[in-house]
Structure 1
Amino acid sequence: MKWKKDKNDNTDNIEKIEKKNKKQKNKKKRKKANDQIVRIQELEEMLEKSGEDIDPETIVSMYVPHRKPKRIGAALLRMDKLNLVLMGMLLIVAVLFIIAFSQEKMGNFTINLNRLELYRRGISISETGEFNDATARLTASSVKDATNISIDDIPDNLDGESGSHNGKNYMAYTYYVRNAGKEDLGYIAKITLDSCAKGAEEAVRVAVWRNGKRVVYAEPAKDGSAEKGCVNFKSEDVVCSYHEENFLVGNVDRYTIVIWMEGDDPECVDSIIGGSVQFSMHIDSDIDDNTSLVWKFVKDIKDTLSGDKPINAAGNEAPNDSYYSDRDITWENRRNK
């Protein structure tokens, strides 16, 4: 009996110790929670002093450990519409910036036709001589991981194809310009150097075939003279320009552009490895038309209402008073053969 009594006493002691430990743990938890509440209250007071109106629930969602993510979502839903609109606009700008940056890095060769002064007057460009896809903007595919190549290794028949026809280590693109409008006019086609890196422009070559005649352009040599077999770039950012003063109705011009890094150029050295160049071609009117946009718009409406055969610049149809009134204007039946 004495042993049993001692056993009960030990059990009572153990229970007392466990209760005491449990109270101490609960006390520590309450103290920790109180410390967190104090810190949040202090933060809220600081924010109130700064003059900002902050929802306490938002503060709790951000600072209390192990808070469920849905609290943050709820806080976002409570934001006023103006803040949400601003956040949306910032996101759109960020996406556009990324897209623009990516496009720049691609190094594509683009051809841009002046829409207002040329496209609306019946001048268009196309990858094909039939002008089934007449437009005001074309983009050539880029060449990836290109290295240098000699001009002697580039095929001689590149002017005989259409659209993009790149080869190993060179870019080649052929397109057509057509006058299917109602009047003879002039244009200026200009190739520009838009960007470059690591001095790659010093060894680049740009060959241009215009209606079958080829000219090769390059940066001047170190002594200022022209590279062998080349014509110097017109300026630091302009490769060349072609002025067609009398682009008659029914005329079609063909351009082939070939770009490569010339391996035989003395400036083609190891330091330009990893470099890049980006070019574009712009086709503009050779006259400055100071007529207001409103008047041009009115004139287009007047032509439509009066039956004066308004220009269908996006397609093949030419007005009846053009050089060809009974068929489409193509490279094969062009006026300037």
Structure 2
Amino acid sequence: MRLSTVLGIRRIKLRNRIFSLGIIITGMLSLVFGVVTFYGQNAGNFVMSVDTAARLRGIVLSTDPEFETKSARLMSDPINEARDITYAWLKLDEITQTNGNYTDIDHDYVAYTFYLKNEGMETVDLNYYIRITEVYNNLDRGIRILVIEDGVETMYMKRDTISGNFYPEYMPEAEYFLTDNTVMRKMIVNLKPEQVKKFSIVVWLEGNDPDTTDDLLGGMIKMQMNFTINRLN
């Protein structure tokens, strides 16, 4: 089971777009605005799936909360020109109310909502994690990954390479990547038969990050998200 995401960056300024939207922000975004292309294997942004052991125990995924259609693997739509944005621009209410891929008409970023269900006959513990498998031009320094599990938000980032107070008060405090390659790792405890979990995943290039500079242009990153049965089950 895996979630795969690839991001590439090209140089394009955002000034015209910001003014055309009527947005006036002081001291918010970095001086350099790049364009990010989100794309992945099989033309998707990222892939979510359960591994064989979890599938055999009845763990399934769906973009339908009623699970009329279900799968061990889901894929989002590609995004071609995503400029760096900031957390306040995310339309989180709309994202979490839209099943599957969410498209923001104002800004470009990865946003996908899906459901996980235990259709097996026994209660299980599930591990899930996001891991970086490839990265170029240090793109991992500027991205943010927001995981919303049953309405609870957790934002992940790599530690800044320079110290300072760069982030406005509206931004939630982020958890740092566990390692250079592992973004996060959590466990779903006692997932009972017929129980459903709701997830929304959002990925963007954060403009307030001091590491979002020209150095990231041409960068690329690839990630996997895995759901697995806890080995102690």
Q: TM-score, normalised by structure 1?
A: 0.52
Which moved further from structure 2: 244-253 or 161-170? 161-170
Matched positions, count: 187
> Greater helix share, 1 or 2?
1
Residue matched to 2:72: 136
Residue segments in structure 2 that go unaligned for 5+ positions in a row: 1-38, 168-172
Give the distance between the partners of 1:226 and 1:165, measured in 2 at CA: 32
1:103 Cα deviation after fit: 5.3
Pick from 95, 98, 112 the counterpart of residue 49 of structure 2: 112
Pick from 134, 153, 176 the counterpart of residue 214 of structure 1: 153
SS in 2 for 1:145: strand
Give the distance between the partners of 1:204 and 1:192, measured in 2 at CA: 14
Alpha-carbon RMSD across the aligned residues, in angstroms, is 2.3
Pairs within 5 Å for 1:42-61 = none
1:164 partnered with 2:106: no
Give the distance between the partners of 2:116 and 2:123, measured in 1 at CA: 14
Residue segments in structure 1 that go unaligned for 5+ positions in a row: 1-101, 290-337
Residue matched to 1:275: 219
Residue matched to 1:202: 141
Q: Is the 8 A contact 1:204 1:259 kept in 2?
A: yes
Residue matched to 1:250: 194
1:145 partnered with 2:89: no
Matching residue's letter, 1:141: D
Matching residue's letter, 1:130: E
**1:239-292 deviation digits (Å, cap 9, x = unpaired):** 112201211112100110000000110000012123222222100000267xxx
SS in 1 for 2:56: helix
Pick from 201, 204, 209 the counterpart of residue 260 of structure 1: 204
Q: Is the 8 A contact 1:221 1:227 kept in 2?
A: no
Change in 2 beyond 3 A, CA 1:148/1:118: same
1:224 Cα deviation after fit: 8.0
Change in 2 beyond 3 A, CA 1:224/1:253: farther
Pairs within 5 Å for 1:281-320 = 281-287=225-231
Residue matched to 1:89: none
Residue matched to 2:17: none
Matching residue's letter, 1:251: Q
Pick from 241, 247, 262 the counterpart of residue 185 of structure 2: 241
1:227 Cα deviation after fit: 7.9
| Structure 1 ranges of 4+ moved more than 3 A | 102-107, 223-228
Q: TM-score, normalised by structure 2?
A: 0.73
Q: Is the 8 A contact 1:166 1:173 kept in 2?
A: no
Residue matched to 2:116: 177
Matching residue's letter, 1:230: A
Matching residue's letter, 1:148: D
> Greater strand share, 1 or 2?
2
Matching residue's letter, 1:139: M
Higher relative contact order (CA 8 A, sep 6+): 2
Give the distance between the partners of 2:165 and 2:178, measured in 1 at CA: 11
Give the distance between the partners of 2:148 and 2:40, measured in 1 at CA: 27
Q: Is the 8 A contact 2:111 2:202 kept in 1?
A: yes
Identity %: 23
Give the distance between the partners of 1:134 and 1:216, measured in 2 at CA: 27
Matching residue's letter, 1:114: D
